[in-house]
Chains A and B, each alone.
Chain A
Amino acid sequence: MKSSRRKFLKKAASAVTGTLVFPYIIPSSSLGLGGETPPSEKILMGVIGTGSQGMSNMRSFMRLKDQVRFVALCDVDAKRLEAAKAVVDKVNRSNDCRIYGDFREFLEKEKLDAVLIAIPDHWHGIIYTAAANKKLDVYGEKPICRTINDGKVIVQAVKKNGIIWQTGSWQRSEANFHRGAELVINGRIGKVKYIEVGLPDGVRGIGTPPVQEVPEGLDWEMWLGPALKVPYRGVCHWNWRWILDYSGGQLTDWAGHHVDIANWGTGLEYTGPVEIEGTGFYPYDGIYNAPVEYDITCKFANGIIMRIANASRLPKGMGTVWYGDLGWIHVDRGNRISASDPKILEETIGENEIHLYKSTDHFQNFIDCVRTRKEAIAPIEPAYRAISTALLGEIAMTTGQKIYWDPEKEEIIGNPNASRLLGRPYRKPWTLPEV
């Protein structure tokens, strides 16, 4: 039974508080089950959103096959759902993986330990909150919200329900990002004055496609959900991220990675900027309307300036660069780390210095935390803070104004028009669930 196992897990976790490594995995061979952990010992997981990111994440969890069992899937696209079920059933060597087209039914009927959610941003507010209210632990994709007001509710739902939350900001579990952030937070480049965050450039447009027939199996109405109703025009999976109704483009897609890392290395994870200004270059024409170039400058209360721009506008391109008064460190994907002086990278971090949370496997870390009830490496609030910085940049670009933000009250100061952009009304009958 789910509830009793969860109680057991919670008890076990409290019993080992303070232990660095919890040897919870009993080698299944010792159980005499031909190398397999009995299903009852596995974390039961479901997936909402079986698109490319959802499938990729699911496969990453399946690597941990002695620990996780996927038992239920949900998607608005029946074809994708079937394909995902085939993958799960093959791994489970059964055909009992349950499938749903409506997340409400999925959440109502399924008794799970955790859920992996990988859906378009405009749905995050409703579905993340609903999952948290069901007390499910969540591995949720970044950016965690399409609007700041959605984000506030999600953070509240995660905290109030006491669930384990892991954001898909997997860079935190990569050695180079961890190392860079740890060197910076321990002052190895001196006091940080300035940070540059390079995110991808926008993409080529596709013009203005006509209204098209909705592909068989796709529940377009459900895909749109709380977004304003528009006819299907061939843009749905993956490419929704170039349309502002559903995403803020590369800026918001990637802020959950490199802005998050920037904050991690400077202790800005639980606050936000106080002043934000920015310029965006938007497509002149076409169905894609997210900015293809953007250049945002934020100031934090402690004086740190953060510039977030598409990589082609920045001298060091993609990634996070912290500039301190003693040098700089640059981290990027592909295990890249470089510094103004290579010796900085050889520094050791002393016992009494700050040791940032260490994980070498983002998915394992989540599973570990589901069992131990310890906070995961990418908890909800830092994810919210990272994306809200980008969303404030989006508001600055939309209004053409400098935005003043109160990171404590989480309010825009003295600008009613800009404040309206903190949220977005939901199309009826959708509403954000109460926490």
Chain B
Amino acid sequence: MKRVLNILLIISIILLIFTDCKKSPHYRALIITGQNSTDWVASTPVLKQILEKTGIFECSILISPTPGGEWDKFRPAWDKYNLVVLNYNGEKWPETIRNGFISYVNNGGGVLVYHSASIAFPDWKEYNEICGISGWDNRSEKDGPYIYFRGNRMVLDSSAGPAGWHGEPREFEVRIRNTEHPVTRGLPVRWMHAKDLLYARLRGPAKNMEVLATAYCDTTGGGTGRDEPVMMAITYGKGRVFHTTLGFPGDGTSPALQCAGFITTLQRGAEWAASGKVTQPVPRDFPTVSGVVLRTEMKPITLKEEIENLAKYEIGMSTRYYTGLQDRIKKAAGDPDKLLEIEKMMVKLLENDKATIESKKLVLRELSWMGTDYCIPTIKKLQENAELKDEVDFALERLGVK
């Protein structure tokens, strides 16, 4: 009997290890769409892909009836989900569905309000509280104050006027306003967002709402000249809501959806809304004030791929594989095993006849301080190469080789 128990214990441990390794989805998300003033057909698969790339979400899509359609068959199974992603604005949901949604949130369900979903349901009070702030569809001072930032302070401006405005799509800088919130902790506080529609003049009840990020809406074409909220965290009942106004989808290939900043904040916001915490590390391609970073491919790059790409480097080309290598070295944080693994790949590049001279120069700069005895014979061999003379001297001198 004892032996059986032992075997069972071992099996269960093995199972536990395997399930952990596989990083199976912890959370189920439901994307609700079907009517929208933006192209929901294009944006919905992108949202699904972005969330599933985290490895922690499994997404279902629920498509509403077309306007005037049969709502009887539209029955979201709220209880099955940790997160409801709203990519919907259009016909008002029937009362039973509205009530179901509110009790889902009240009971601790997570919500992600995406871009034009904040326009939806102007006369549904609870929905507007869930969004915190919204725009368009005859919203005005009756719906709550304008919310924006002046300096470091949030302004609640009760002046009369319509809600909702946007100009032409353009690149703009996002400014993180809360560096302690799980969604935004550890991010650069200023970063360039790809060409997008910047919502402005949003207003609403703003109850239990924290503005996590703003963007400056310049005065071109009647813009407000204010720092407008673009990401909000709202608590409603026991539920958490992440609301982003970013991500104009266009036909689904819009740069806004490819922005590494948009993707990351959507993923982090979704996890926080679903669980109250964020376990995802900040990716290395997160943009800074330096410039927009588009992520055309969702797959993270391996060290081998990075080195292979770096080996093609010529002046004038993207430096991303070099900064990627530097980032790996930083993240190794002095761990000799990890550094040696990277060093071995760097040495391979130095030994590769097809690798460019320029890429070898970059690798030699890094090896000069983090290299070990392992790299020295290879570097010495390069002494014969006139084109690399300065960098070889540089590396050997710093490595203390006479």
- Chain A interface (Cβ within 8 Å of chain B)? 201-205, 207-211, 228-231, 233, 281-289, 292-293, 310, 312-313, 315, 397-401, 415, 417-418, 420-421, 423-425, 427-428
Contacts and interface: CB of A to CB of B under 8 A. Distances in A.
Contacts of A400: 329-334
Given A208-B317, A281-B288, A293-B189, A421 B369 contact: yes
Contact of B393 (A204, A205, A428): A428
A202 B318 CA distance: 20
B290 A202 contact: yes
Interface stretch (B12-20, B36-44, B73-81, B394-402): B394-402
B315 A425 contact: no
A124 B268 CA distance: 45
B46 interface: no
Interface of B: 152, 175, 179, 188-190, 192, 284-291, 293, 315-320, 323, 326-327, 329-334, 339, 361, 365, 368-370, 390-391, 393-394, 397-400
A233 B188 contact: no
B330 A284 contact: no
Given A208-B317, A400-B329, A417-B334, A283 B391 contact: no
Contact of A292 (B288, B319, B326, B399): B288
Given A208-B317, A399-B370, 15 more contacts: A228-B361, A228-B390, A231-B315, A281-B288, A282-B323, A283-B290, A283-B291, A284-B284, A289-B319, A293-B288, A400-B331, A401-B333, A417-B339, A420-B398, A425-B398
A284 B320 contact: yes
A292 B108 CA distance: 39
Given A204-B290, A284-B291, A293-B189, A427 B323 contact: no
Nearest to B339: A417
A310 B189 CA distance: 10
Contacts of B188: 281, 292-293
Q: Which of A211, A231, A425 gathers the greatest number of chain B CB atoms within 10 Å?
A: A425
A426 B277 CA distance: 49
Nearest to B151: A317
A5 B327 CA distance: 56
B368 A285 contact: no
A397 B331 CA distance: 10
A397 B320 CA distance: 18
Contacts of B329: 399-400
A211 B390 contact: no
Given A209-B316, A285-B323, A425-B393, A399 B334 contact: yes
A399 B333 contact: yes
Nearest to B176: A312
Contacts, number: 126
A205 B192 CA distance: 11
Contacts of B323: 282-285, 289
25 contacts: A201-B190, A201-B289, A202-B289, A203-B290, A205-B290, A209-B316, A211-B315, A230-B315, A231-B315, A233-B315, A283-B291, A285-B318, A285-B323, A286-B291, A292-B289, A293-B288, A310-B189, A397-B330, A398-B330, A399-B334, A417-B334, A418-B369, A420-B369, A427-B390, A427-B393
Contacts of B361: 228
Contacts of B339: 417
Contact of A313 (B189, B285, B330): B189
B179 A285 contact: no
B92 to A, nearest CB: 42
Contacts of B393: 425, 427-428
A312 B398 contact: no
A209 B326 CA distance: 21
A229 B320 CA distance: 21
A422 to B, nearest CB: 10
B102 to A, nearest CB: 37
A401 B334 contact: yes
A417 to B, nearest CB: 5
B251 to A, nearest CB: 26
Contact of B175 (A211, A287, A312, A420): A312
Nearest to A279: B186
A281 B187 CA distance: 9
Contacts of A428: 390, 393
Contacts of B327: 282
Contacts of A284: 284-285, 287-288, 290-291, 293, 320, 323
A326 to B, nearest CB: 25
A203 B192 CA distance: 11
Nearest to A313: B189
Nearest to A242: B290
B391 A228 contact: yes
Nearest to B364: A228
A205 B290 CA distance: 5
B390 A203 contact: no
A209 B318 CA distance: 10
A417 B370 contact: yes
A285 B190 CA distance: 16
A202 to B, nearest CB: 6
Q: Which of A231, A284, A288, A423 gathers the greatest number of chain B CB atoms within 10 Å?
A: A284
